[in-house]
Structure 1
């Protein structure tokens, strides 16, 4: 059926309208979001005391150092009298108050987590981690952050309290879009022994979803490839992560002082990158290492090219049809991801705690590696046409730039699976025979 020019315009407008929502949808983590729950626990003479809980329901995207920043706009003329477990970054103009001065008088406060080690009387449960929040798939027990605040000039009942508006979440950079606050059934709390229930006086939720397009106009990582059956190394595409930092990159650590790393407008540290053709902070290398009769082996290396940043609690997600038959993973933890369509072709890798969970800055320690053994499905397995390489790679929740398919290490025309296996087994047998 042919479309008229008018119909094409209507369809175009429709797709433009849904684009902001479509790009936030992640097929590998369709239910991933950060939910902010605001529980009013008690009333005060001019307001209330509330506990704000931030829960990361994303399977493989965490909030890394320097941590989250949460903001909102008060509906009336509320102030924050005090906070436990967090602090406002700016007190604002509190000149109209005499004697007892509020913690923050701004109509649009910005709040950050406290650092570890603060005095006990300034802490509540799940606070004070420097704003670092693990992904739910990696460490559910560390996927929560919380703080308490006492709000004044706010109303003292469910009928007089007004919900804050225009929530914003930085984690630590941009990328999150938050919904408006919505009143939900009051939270039920259990006592430590599980024998007594208490209920929040009022509860509202805010849901924040992530979009890589909003976070950065360029990718933040790239993928290179190699194989035992081809001497060619497929490098990351040139300027995979954009070449806007090409004039500020450094070739050695001694040049770092000549590069300005602090962005005065945002207060965030911009990357000080090692000079490369791809200009990415992170490169992931996928090497098809060995071929056995019923199994094959892959080596994955993650390299950090940022001179000023250590990646803590990093995650790597790979999409490949043979990940449904992972037999063994070395050096990393591994967890399958079952996306919405229930096809088990994706998995999450992350570092072992206190061993390789921190990816150090560029240099001798600026890489982590793993190897995995996968069992072949003889109906689908092949080395032809780049089948052995991943379909997608994500690092810390952002999709990496892949080489074009025609650049993948190709299988020599004369080779097949059996001869490849023989090429490995025969030299090994010769070495064994010579040993005797």
Structure 2
């Protein structure tokens, strides 16, 4: 080998190692192959100048296909000593020290590092803006495009009031319960144009700043939050979620709440009705249990059951179980990868939409969500803490029941990757048969359906 060749090899290996280290760093932005262009965009449009600053409209725009924000928290650091005189459509969590500005009314916030949250629904008209007041909920673009934008208006003082004297806010951050994003710096871009209703005239912002925020799983959750269990009509074996899939359960088996290692949370046994009743009726000043105690300790469990095998079709049943004793999941969504989604026929109780980020190259992914006013809210753990639907597929030449083909390859709940069992544990066909039909299938299906109804909810 020539010295130059060896030098190139060493350089290539160095780049590979650097890339692996960067990807493994906590908080590193990860590429999402199911949503390669999905992101949150922050658009800051300065609409007019004031005596000591400017008035701006700030938009938080979600272009992600299946990942929403439950309750946004937008933060930044002022470049100097700016302050917020007035806000509509949102509010700062802290007023800060406004003693240097003894005005009536006082400034909305004098904090050097403000954190902004949305208002609750039902605010007085003079406190609202368009696309505000949903308690910070920003829906995925493909699920609910009308609610994929949140907006507020802000009047900033103690800063410049020309294009050349204003300062760009720094260290932008975007967070939410159960969500973490890494944001680029705000930078100046071409001013946003606003067409008139008749489309004959455009107005534009004086100045526009843009930033993009990418979802980072490690910032959102230090551990997985969902897992998958499996069963099939042709096998008596029910494959549970992997042990310790999200956390390890407490060792104690006594009744009542138990501390969850490494957290400030507690769990209760799912077969302890008195503890469940106490958890659902929270007394003032007490901290309620967080989860059911299970071997996998996941707040959400997805169960996939291969239910029936017809001549030209096959059917599966999906059950989503909420074990979180403190949360209702409103407008949840489920993303599933399976090679037969190209032949997907129908979902009976969920709404379905194919996800095709690369056109028709790989049509193997679908997104499901609840039917409005029927099962779009997944209630907290307890008798109402589950939703379910059956899904029907047409067969083609690739269909088989061998080697776990009938089970999904990836499952995501509200954008988070769920832990699947080890493939070696999947239910196996009896006697190696790949075309189980007739009376044996019907009998097995009936027996398994009874068993699955009892086991898939925990």
**How far 1:182 sits from its partner (Å)?**
1.4
Give CA deviations for 1:350-380 in whole Å, capped at 9, x if unaligned.
00111111000111110000111101121x1
**How far 1:140 sits from its partner (Å)?**
0.6
| Structure 1, 81-90 or 184-193: larger mean CA deviation | 184-193
Structure 1 equivalent of residue 124 of structure 2: 119
Structure 2 equivalent of residue 166 of structure 1: 171
Match of 2:89 among 73, 85, 91: 85
Counterparts of 1:59-208 in structure 2 under 5 Å?
Answer: 59-64=65-70, 67-100=71-104, 101-208=106-213
**How far 1:254 sits from its partner (Å)?**
3.9
Match of 2:374 among 355, 365, 368: 355
Secondary structure of 2:75's partner? strand
Secondary structure of 1:233's partner? coil
Match of 2:316 among 298, 303, 313: 298
Give CA deviations for 1:118-174 in whole Å, capped at 9, x if unaligned.
100100100000001111111111111000000001211111111111011112244
Structure 2: gaps spanning 5 or more residues: 251-257, 260-265, 446-458
CA distance in 2, matches of 1:55, 1:312: 20
Secondary structure of 2:17's partner? helix
Structure 2 equivalent of residue 420 of structure 1: 437
In the alignment of these two chains, the number of paired residues is 419
Structure 1: gaps spanning 5 or more residues: 429-436
Are 2:47 and 1:41 aligned?
yes
Mark the CA change 1:52 to 1:271 in structure 2 (over 3 Å): closer, same or farther: farther
Secondary structure of 2:326's partner? coil
Secondary structure of 1:136's partner? coil
Counterparts of 1:11-50 in structure 2 under 5 Å?
Answer: 11-19=16-24, 24-50=30-56
**How far 1:19 sits from its partner (Å)?**
4.1
Structure 1 equivalent of residue 365 of structure 2: 346
Root-mean-square deviation over aligned CA pairs: 2.8
Structure 1 equivalent of residue 336 of structure 2: 318
Mark the CA change 1:139 to 1:108 in structure 2 (over 3 Å): closer, same or farther: same
Structure 2 equivalent of residue 369 of structure 1: 388
Give CA deviations for 1:169-204 in whole Å, capped at 9, x if unaligned.
112244210000011111111233444321111111
**How far 1:414 sits from its partner (Å)?**
4.9
CA distance in 1, matches of 2:437, 2:67: 38
CA distance in 1, matches of 2:239, 2:113: 49
Secondary structure of 2:236's partner? strand
Secondary structure of 1:413's partner? helix
CA distance in 2, matches of 1:228, 1:145: 46
CA distance in 1, matches of 2:47, 2:395: 56
Secondary structure of 1:16's partner? helix
8 Å contact 2:268–2:289 — kept in the other structure? no
Structure 2 equivalent of residue 433 of structure 1: none
CA distance in 2, matches of 1:181, 1:253: 52
CA distance in 2, matches of 1:270, 1:321: 42
**How far 1:304 sits from its partner (Å)?**
0.3
8 Å contact 1:292–1:421 — kept in the other structure? no
Counterparts of 1:357-436 in structure 2 under 5 Å?
Answer: 357-378=376-397, 380-417=398-435, 419-421=436-438, 423-424=440-441
Mark the CA change 1:408 to 1:414 in structure 2 (over 3 Å): closer, same or farther: closer
Structure 1 equivalent of residue 263 of structure 2: none
8 Å contact 1:50–1:149 — kept in the other structure? yes
CA distance in 1, matches of 2:117, 2:28: 29
8 Å contact 2:241–2:421 — kept in the other structure? yes
Give CA deviations for 1:293-351 in whole Å, capped at 9, x if unaligned.
11100100000001111001101000000011111111111000013473110010000
| Structure 1, 89-98 or 207-216: larger mean CA deviation | 207-216
8 Å contact 1:29–1:340 — kept in the other structure? no
Mark the CA change 1:258 to 1:324 in structure 2 (over 3 Å): closer, same or farther: closer
Q: TM-score, normalised by structure 2?
A: 0.86
Mark the CA change 1:3 to 1:343 in structure 2 (over 3 Å): closer, same or farther: farther
CA distance in 2, matches of 1:414, 1:14: 43
Q: TM-score, normalised by structure 1?
A: 0.90
**How far 1:416 sits from its partner (Å)?**
3.1
Structure 2 equivalent of residue 432 of structure 1: none
**How far 1:76 sits from its partner (Å)?**
1.7
CA distance in 2, matches of 1:386, 1:119: 56
